[in-house]
Structure 1
Amino acid sequence: MPKMAARYMLSKYWDGRLPVDPFAIARSANVAVEHEADMEDAFGRFEIVNGRPHIYINPDEPGMRQRFVLAHELGHFALKHGRHFVDTSREFAPVQLDEIENQANRFAMELLIPGFAVNILIEKRNITNFIRLTDAFAVSQLAMKLRLKKLRWL
């Protein structure tokens, strides 16, 4: 389900350029995105406000994390998980036991690192250097490693 939801969002709202811009995708999907100070230990939050989806991102987090948090929160929206989520570091652990948070993490990986785009870079453009791939998708090395394992490139 996360894979199909991410593919749908990409097909409908992505401009096809790397790195995938989750902020542009959110705007195109009519999801309001705001940076909110004083989120304490929260990385991000999703909620429905007056019928419109809103995502709040902690501006104190590094840019790469903000991209992943936004993609994760978009996952809550796209997967129709409910009206309100507050996500801290616990929800972004590589091994997530909570199924809803696991789905949102899988959605984020699919959105930011589309499998077909990885395959094109590796097979057609012969880009096999791990750092170049990581930079092309503007994700952490851990995210890229997990994604390449999932796609059976590692």
Structure 2
Amino acid sequence: MEEALAKRILDAHWDKLLPVRPADIARALGMQIDVLDGPELSGEAEIRDGQQVIKFNRNESTNRQRFTMAHEIGHHVLGHVTPFSPARRDNAGSFSSGNHDWQEVQANRFAAALLMPKLAVETLVYREGITNISRLAEILRVSEAAMYYRLKNLGML
């Protein structure tokens, strides 16, 4: 489900350049992007005055900011955030592979599929011959851990 949804959004709003720019996709989907400053939250998704809003912590690494934006987009497009629900607030633990909250797992899977599109990963590995996880992570601007899990989940490890 998350993979197919990410692909539909990429097909509609991605210019096929790497790395995928989650902020551009959020804007194309009509979402407002705000920043957080404090150390307690990595991101947030809410509906404010009828407007879908995603927030990311500007004090975190660029790769973390990108994953957070994609994750928060996921909360919106997966229907986790409604006008009547409280904001989805995510701390660093929300992005952990050990998190068992189903909505967080879904948002993480969506974020991985959005930032590391299956076809792009397959092209980099099989056509370009890039198999070094660090290099792949650098190209896609994700953490090495995120790249490892994406390759594993795609059956490429």
TM-score (norm 1): 0.94
Bigger CA drift: 102-111 or 28-37?
Answer: 28-37
User: In the comparison of the two structures, how many residue pairs are matched?
Assistant: 153
Q: 120, 124, 142: which one pairs with 1:121? A: 124
Distance across 2 between alignment mates of 1:56 and 1:125: 35
Instruction: Specify every segment of 5 or more residues in structure 1 that has no aligned partner in the other structure, as ranges.
Output: none
- Per-residue displacement from partner, 1:49-108 (whole Å, max 9, x unpaired)? 111100111111111100000000000011011232011122111122110110000000
Map of 2:68 onto structure 1 = 69
Instruction: Specify every segment of 5 or more residues in structure 2 that has no aligned partner in the other structure, as ranges.
Output: none
Supply the AA of the counterpart residue of 1:99.
Answer: W
Supply the AA of the counterpart residue of 1:45.
Answer: E
Supply the AA of the counterpart residue of 2:75.
Answer: H
**Identity rate of aligned residues, in percent?**
39
> What secondary structure is seen at the aligned counterpart in 1 of 2:54?
strand
Q: Does 1:56 align with 2:55?
A: yes
Supply the AA of the counterpart residue of 1:22.
Answer: P
Distance across 1 between alignment mates of 2:102 and 2:135: 32
TM-score (norm 2): 0.93
Residue pair 2:40, 2:91 contacting (<8 A) in 1 also: yes
Distance across 2 between alignment mates of 1:141 and 1:59: 20
Supply the AA of the counterpart residue of 1:109.
Answer: A
Distance across 1 between alignment mates of 2:12 and 2:98: 30
| Runs of 4 or more consecutive aligned structure 1 residues displaced over 6 Å after TM superposition | none
- Per-residue displacement from partner, 1:1-39 (whole Å, max 9, x unpaired)? 11111111111111101111101111111111111223x
Backbone CA RMSD of aligned residues: 1.1
1:83-94 matches, cutoff 5 A: 83=82, 84-94=87-97
Distance across 2 between alignment mates of 1:147 and 1:99: 18
Q: 116, 136, 139: which one pairs with 1:136? A: 139
Q: Give the deviation of 1:151 after TM superposition.
A: 1.4
Residue pair 2:45, 2:72 contacting (<8 A) in 1 also: yes
